[in-house]
Chains A and B, each alone.
Chain A
Amino acid sequence: MEDFTPIASLIGGILIGLSASMMILLNGRIAGVSGILGGIADAHKSDVPWRMAFLAGLVLSPFAYMLFSQPFAAKLAVPDLQIIIAGLLVGIGSRYGSGCTSGHGVCGIARMSRRSIIATAVFMAAGIATVYITHHMG
């Protein structure tokens, strides 16, 4: 464990919490990314622009971050087929299970939803099992 970053992670988490607070107190909505994105196709017309605005903010966030800090880029070190399978599972799973790390893991737990607490425990366990299988077996 060489790169333990409790302070940066805590500060990042606080910003995420402030964003979720803004969304619920100002807009009256849950800041769940899979719901905001996946729900666009079925959303009422008046709900499409704010969803697009939130997603635009997410897409632009690295540029805002780079105004103050080092350039940032996510690095994926797995085969393309694994990326495709993972993306499909994340897409289907987050919609079928009504949420992802943001909707269930942050907003759901913060409002003490039993459904979200259980969903979070289940996807964490599935993620832990997947990493165990792909990194420590075979």
Chain B
Amino acid sequence: MFKKNLSALFAGLLFGIGLILSGMTNPAKVIGFLDIFGDWDPSLMFVMIGAIGVSFFAFRKASGLSLSLIKEQMQLPTARQIDLPLIIGAVLFGIGWGLVGLCPGPAIASIATGGFEVLLFVIAMLIGMAIYRLLKR
């Protein structure tokens, strides 16, 4: 119990430092990355290359494990179907991401330093998640 919380805390810290260092927490940089018909800044492609390049091996190793290295149940997603919720959800998410240049990880990593605007975004995001939960019932 203690081990899994400590590792999650450390993973969250590492994740956030990675987001800040990479430029993902800079909305102007995100907009520059999505602006392929304008003054395109491809930097954030290197975030994906680095992140996927490293975790690819971890997931390959993980797929052969029945318990994690600290004896937790492995929980890999099992859904396979390409359905309408996946597509509609991704479209809505992409529009929101493009409107402001923030996605969930960078938004949370910016709560303490981003002032009123970031807080407003996070509150709206939480309300959005609550709305989804109500509609799902």
Which A residues are closer than 8 A to B by beta carbons?
A: 1, 3-31, 33-34, 37-38, 41-42, 46, 49-51, 53-65, 69, 71-78, 80, 82-98, 100-102, 104-111, 113-115, 118-120, 122-132, 134-136
Q: Residue of A at shortest CB range from B118? A: A74
* Residue interface bits B57-94, CB-to-A below 8 A is 1, else 0: 11111110101111011111101111001111111111
> For chains A and B in complex, what number of residue pairs have CB atoms within 8 angstroms?
495
A12-B23 in contact (CB<8A): yes
- State A4–B50 Cα separation when bound (angstroms): 16
* A-B contacts, 30 listed (Cβ < 8 Å): A5-B43, A11-B21, A12-B17, A12-B18, A12-B20, A13-B48, A15-B21, A17-B54, A19-B12, A19-B18, A20-B55, A27-B7, A30-B75, A37-B104, A38-B133, A42-B133, A60-B13, A62-B16, A62-B110, A74-B27, A82-B99, A88-B124, A92-B132, A93-B89, A98-B79, A106-B52, A110-B52, A110-B55, A128-B37, A131-B31
Which B residues are in CB contact (< 8 Å) with A57? 8-16
Q: Given A93-B96, A100-B104, A16–B62 Cβ distance below 8 Å?
A: no
- Are B68's CB and A27's CB within 8 A? yes
Q: Do most interface residues of chain B lie in helix, strand or loop, or is the interface mixed?
A: helix
Which listed residue, B4, B76, B88, B130, touches A26 by the CB 8 Å rule?
B4
A8 to B65, CA, bound (A): 33
**Measured CA separation A120–B17 after assembly (Å):** 22
Beyond the given pairs A17-B52, A123-B93, A126-B92, 8 more chain A to chain B contacts, judged by CB atoms under 8 angstroms and listed by A's residue number, are A12-B23, A14-B51, A54-B9, A58-B12, A74-B106, A76-B101, A89-B95, A127-B98
